[in-house]
Amino acid sequence: MDAAKEFNRYISHLSEGLGHADRHAGLRGYCTGLMLPLSRKSVEPMAARVDPLHASARHQALHHFVATSEWPDSSVMVRVRDWVMPWLGLDSGCYWIIDDTGFPKKGKHSVGVARQYCGQLGKQDNCQVAVSLSLASAQGSIPIAYQLYVPQDWAADPVRRKTAGVPEGIAFATKPEIASAQMRQAVAAGVPMGVVLADAGYGDETAFRDGITALGMRYAVGIRPGTTVWAPGTAPLPPKAWVGRGKKPTKLRREPGNEPVTVKALAMALPAQAWSTVAWREGTNDELSGRFAALRVRPAHRDYLATKMRPQEWLLIEWPEGEAEPAKYFLTTAPEEATLAQMVFVTKMRWRIERDYQDLKQDFGLGHYEGRGWRGFHHHATLSIAAYGFLMAERLKAGNSARVKKNFAQRQVPAIPKDYVPRGRPARAASRAKLDHNAAPAAERRTRKRPGSLPALPLDKSETKLMTQ
């Protein structure tokens, strides 16, 4: 099917989740703008390119649609998921990937902004952070849940909450708690269950891992070097023998010489023959491989307060050749008969969420929203994911291969009228002779081409057709 017609079908499919018919034009215009090759995908530059002859009016309409209109994010996200999911090939392997992403942000008034760790910067700084759940296979992935993390001081500040429009039902929750709620909602919605993948920020939380098990799913999650486990051949001691007086002892025990160890200490003590080189997939230029070891252990977190031992799990350790110590540690509830290669492959599937965020930020403007409110932040993210979902489905249909021939010609983006002046720029020549304010800079420049980037969507089929791959 012609890609422009398929896009029309897709927008009609999403529109059914908006409620009112007068929101359909906003959905089409906003998604189209997000798919254009613009360096900045905030409302104004998108409006200028989507409808250059009526940029001001379109700017107001798109701004109202994303920042004010009361359409439900969840309904649109469900429709994006339902459109993409049949093409993912989940029968050959299904994964639920939990992660969060940060957006550097100046000031203190934008919803949820605080000084916190920002993965994009690799350090603590002023930013917003959102938690997401992606549904993935070996062929592709799509975020199916997305929520802003609201720091505790924000959650407890009624004035800032009201100003930013934070819903009354949103209380403070840690990132693992947000992710756990997203998984419960996905299970209730009937999403096919998969292996849950997450980094150590989530996997180190015992309650998070227990919640996954309670939902009936397996996991392969990162943990920190200081996490304690019972080494093979060791276990907590049973409760003390009851002497017939007082309360009968029920708690497990530890004693000097019979204690858990950190996963780092356990890894450092392993013999050389415990390590094997395993390849997990083809990278851009070469096969990706590393040194790994796996052994059966029991998590030990506060088990001295428990009445029964935790079941054994796999501890997977990655120690790159030439490094002074292991780089990564994982706990996984993979079957006892699982091979080392199988566990490595599954654990490394987390690269899919990294690709999601790379494409969403660089090609679909995920972090470009300039408003301050809760509704606009989530509406913009939902629409970015919607635009990404369409091209993800098209790529999957085409075989998800970088070698697939591009079967649509790239169109030219309409030129901006000569008299168009971006907001905040003087509209007329300056009164001083040496200052020329007529030479307003171009509203946007094309983004640089990078390998693997998703192509742009045309504005109208009269000029040319949609480009995809």
pLDDT along the chain (469 residues), means of 10: 86 91 92 91 92 91 94 96 96 96 90 91 92 96 97 94 94 97 97 97 96 98 97 91 83 91 97 95 82 96 88 96 95 97 96 93 93 95 96 88 36 53 50 42 44 44 37
Same domain, 408 and 318: no
Same domain, 44 and 78: yes
Q: What is the DSSP letter of 202?
A: H
Residue 197 belongs to a domain? no
**Residue 281 pLDDT:** 86
Q: What are the residues facing 104 on neighbouring strands?
A: 127
Same domain, 226 and 339: yes
**Residue 19 pLDDT:** 81
Residue 213 belongs to a domain? no
Residue 96 belongs to a domain? no
Same domain, 335 and 407: no
Same domain, 409 and 311: no
Residue 116 belongs to a domain? no
Residue 435 belongs to a domain? no
**Residue 1 pLDDT:** 56
Contact 291, 320 (CB under 8 A): yes
Q: Give 154-159 contacts, CB < 8 A, sequence gap 24+.
A: 154/111, 154/112, 154/114
β pairing state of 219-223 and 141-148 = unpaired
Same domain, 343 and 377: no
Same domain, 313 and 400: no
**Residue 400 pLDDT:** 59
Contact 458, 467 (CB under 8 A): yes
Contact 145, 185 (CB under 8 A): yes
Same domain, 378 and 259: no
Same domain, 223 and 324: yes
Same domain, 334 and 255: yes
Residue 169 belongs to a domain? no
**Residue 102 pLDDT:** 94
**Residue 416 pLDDT:** 59
**Residue 420 pLDDT:** 58
Cα–Cα distance between 398 and 444 in angstroms, integer? 31
Question: Which amino acid is it at 344?
Answer: V
Contact 295, 271 (CB under 8 A): no
Residue 144 belongs to a domain? no
**Residue 381 pLDDT:** 97
**Residue 422 pLDDT:** 57
Residue 98 belongs to a domain? no
Same domain, 391 and 460: yes
Task: Please count the structural domains in the chain.
Answer: 2
| Structural domain range at position 222 | 218-233+251-348
Same domain, 3 and 82: yes
- The secondary structure of 57-112 as a DSSP string is HHHHHHHHHHHT----HHHHHHHHHHHHGGGS-GGG--EEEEEEEEEE--SS-STT
Whole-model pTM? Answer: 0.85
**Residue 47 pLDDT:** 92
**Residue 398 pLDDT:** 87
